[in-house]
Amino acid sequence: MKRLADQIRTLNATAIGDAHADLIISGATLANVYTGKLEEGIDIAIAGDRVAYVGRDAAHTAGPKTRTEDARGRFVVPGMADPHIHIDQFVTPHEFAEHAVLHGVTTLFSDPIDIVSVCGYRGFVEFLRQCKDAPARIFNVVPGGLPVDRKFSTSRRLTRAQERTSLKRDDVVGLGEVFSWKRVTDRDPQTMAQLKSILQKDHVINGHTAGASGKKLQAYVASGIFSCHEPIDYAQTLERLRIGMWVMIREGSIIRSLKEIVTEVLADKIDTSRLMFCSDGVSPTDMVRYGHIDHCVRQAVSLGMDPVTAYTIASRNAFDYYLMSRDVGGIAPGKLADIVVLDDLQKASVRDVYVGGRRVVHGGRLVRRTRRPGRPTWTSRTVRVGRAFDDDDFAVCATGPSCVNTIVMKTPIITGAGSATLEPRDGTLCADADSQVLKAANFERARPTHKGVVAFVEGLGRMEGALATTWSFHENDLVVVGSNERDMAAATNIAASRGGGIVFVRNAKRVADIRLDFAGILSTMSFEKVAESLERLDAKVHDAGCRFSDAHLVPLFLPFLALPSVRLLHTGMVDIKSSERIPTVAHRLK
């Protein structure tokens, strides 16, 4: 984008009528996010990529080459933003952005934690290249969550020097979610130095304050971290708003808190200028099913929120937070012409979308396809297990009945600690269908170390078969859960041999899969194909006896060290609270 400073003469001349606009969107009802009012019969004159004039009559800006789009009977709102999203998931950034704009989302603030976890700085730079010239604006943050756990994580991260270099770029706007608030409240020297250097450059730092309150929360905020997307209820929201924090109300594929929070926000008639809507990640199936930030607006309006307020939360507030309010966030002179034309304000039914004055969506369809960047060959060679797996890789040797420690899947995300008694067969402890104890394994895959661990899980039901993934939060190991060694080996081998993927195998046959051949975490297939594949995969695992309808999340979250209580790494099981390892076999019984 051109800077405002380079365009003030043109914009000034167009607004006053001494130069001609390129485009006039005429006669619309404007949702004015600066006054909170609807204004009827508004013309918007655009010169280059910015708005020059907004008012009842823009005829004075029209010239022989000015194009006019009649928007009478329609509504115009600013392009919406997702202030915290992980788009290094499922599909490429261009593919994702093409679908985000269909939902009126013109800006994505992406935290590419998984690509960095797998590929380090090289991955970060390549990801920024992948985001360039996408149909929506994509800004990235330096992932602030890595390593998730200094004691146990083996993921890659940026060095401080790489961080500093990255933050000089216009497309990098700050530091991503700082997972460990304890590192901040303990004033860990490395963390404090990192925060200081980010703040010195006036960049934004995104917070992650799940479980923090009182003086610990205030110490975190006093360290320059002013936002959080973790509140799951109004009490947590209010505590953060009271101390000047910005709260991103999360409504995405992993957690949905909008209804709970917005209901109380409305009942309490609280100021909404520091609220935003974010997804924290939205899967292609959910995008198709629900939408994106437009879904948040619809939800909020259906709960009784004034529509202009809902669009303000969805647009202006996010740009105010990212210190971009001079350039973007509302429809006004000098602002970038990121404009959404709606057929219906309450339903957020998107008709046309303009990004920088260029129409990218018309009549609800994408009309401007961007050229996708190619990709270096190394991105398809990041699953480096260096061997094929067989049944023996999943053996847990025992000479007699044994008590094993288990990971209890309370949900596909939340775990607990358990135990089970198993009898060995041919010298190895196996999954047990009757007691619904399955096996899980984790192998390092970003480096060819041949390190791996086999453990036991409960809570999935009587699932038959094996589900493997090369993408997992945020260690990105090769993780598999299964009912037998043969299927586990097959699923692991298929996922590894194709450069990455999520694979479900039953009776030694591949039943469903999604190929993730870009760094083992992204697919180069179309959005529609990935949405279809994911839906099919979850359905097949469910059919095979798994009690969860979104089973793909189970291996994704098994290594996730930011959540209690037990997690599985390639170095072993870990009790998060005590920060201790747990052995697979607790003890032999006889």
Residues in touch with Fe ion (CB under 5 A): 280
Partners of residue 429 on adjacent β-strands: 424
| Distances in whole angstroms, Cα of residue 151 to Cα of each of 370, 570, 579 | 43, 13, 8
Per-residue CA distances from 540 to 396, 487, 507 (Å): 28, 15, 13
Is the Cβ of residue 111 or residue 487 nearer to Fe ion in the bound state? 111
Pairwise CA distance, residues 101 & 212, whole Å? 35
Peptide bond into 231 cis (omega under 30): no
CB atoms within 10 A of CB 589: 12
- Choose between 254 and 488: whose C-beta lies nearer to Fe ion: 254
Which CB, 113 or 481, lies closer to Fe ion?
113
Q: Which is nearer to Fe ion, 279 or 405 (CB)?
A: 279
C-alpha–C-alpha distance, residues 226 and 320, integer Å:
12
Shortest-Cβ-distance residue relative to Fe ion: 280
Q: Which is nearer to Fe ion, 82 or 538 (CB)?
A: 82
CA-nearest of 432, 490, 438 to 460 is 438
Closest CA to 78 of 319, 315, 343: 315
Report the residue number, 120 or 281, with the smaller CB distance to Fe ion: 281
Opening angle at CA 378, ends 137 and 441, nearest 5: 95
Residue 42 C-beta: closest distance to Fe ion, Å: 37
Helix (H, G, I), strand (E, B) or coil at 572: strand
426/63 Cα distance (integer angstroms)? 86
Instruction: Kindly state the smallest distance separating residue 85's Cβ from Fe ion, in Å.
Output: 8
Q: How far is the CB of 146 from Fe ion (least distance, A)?
A: 12
Helix (H) or strand (E) holding 47: strand 37-47
Tokens linked to 137: 């604006």
Question: What kind and span of H or E run contains 549?
Answer: none
Q: Considering the complex, state which of residue 50 and residue 203 has its C-beta at the smaller distance from Fe ion.
A: 203
Report the 10 Å Cβ neighbour count for 256.
Answer: 18
Min dist. Cβ of residue 456 to Fe ion (A)? 29
The least distance separating Fe ion from the CB of residue 216, rounded to whole angstroms, comes to 20
In angstroms, the CA 86 to CA 356 distance is 23
CB of 143 to Fe ion, least distance (A): 10
Which of 111, 477 has the CB closer to Fe ion?
A: 111
Q: What minimum distance in Å lies between the beta carbon of 350 and Fe ion?
A: 25
Question: How far is it, in rounded angstroms, from Cα 20 to Cα 60?
Answer: 8
Identify the burial level of 434 via C-beta atoms within 10 angstroms of its C-beta, where 0-12 means exposed, 13-18 middle and 19 or more buried: exposed
Q: Work out how close the CB of 177 gets to Fe ion at its nearest, in angstroms, rounded to a whole number.
A: 5
CA distances from 253 to 226, 290, 539 (A): 24, 10, 17
Q: How far is CA 246 from the centre of its chain?
A: 18
In the complex, minimum distance from the CB of residue 208 to Fe ion, in angstroms, rounded to a whole number: 7
Sort 522 into a burial class: Cβ within 10 Å, 0-12 / 13-18 / 19+: buried
Q: Which is nearer to Fe ion, 22 or 111 (CB)?
A: 111
Name the minimum Å distance from CB 303 to Fe ion: 24
* Residue 257 one-letter amino acid: S
Cβ neighbours around 536 below 10 Å, total: 16
Beta carbon of residue 376, minimum distance to Fe ion (angstroms, whole number): 26
Nearer to Fe ion, 11 or 141 (CB): 141
Output 251 or 280, the one with its CB closest to Fe ion.
280
Residue 511 Cβ vs Fe ion, minimum distance, rounded to whole Å: 31
First vs last C-alpha separation in the chain: 71
- Between 81 and 353, whose beta carbon lies closer to Fe ion? 81
Q: State the Cα–Cα distance between residues 70 and 24, nearest whole angstrom.
A: 8
SS3 for 298? helix
Distance of alpha carbon 160 from the chain centroid: 24
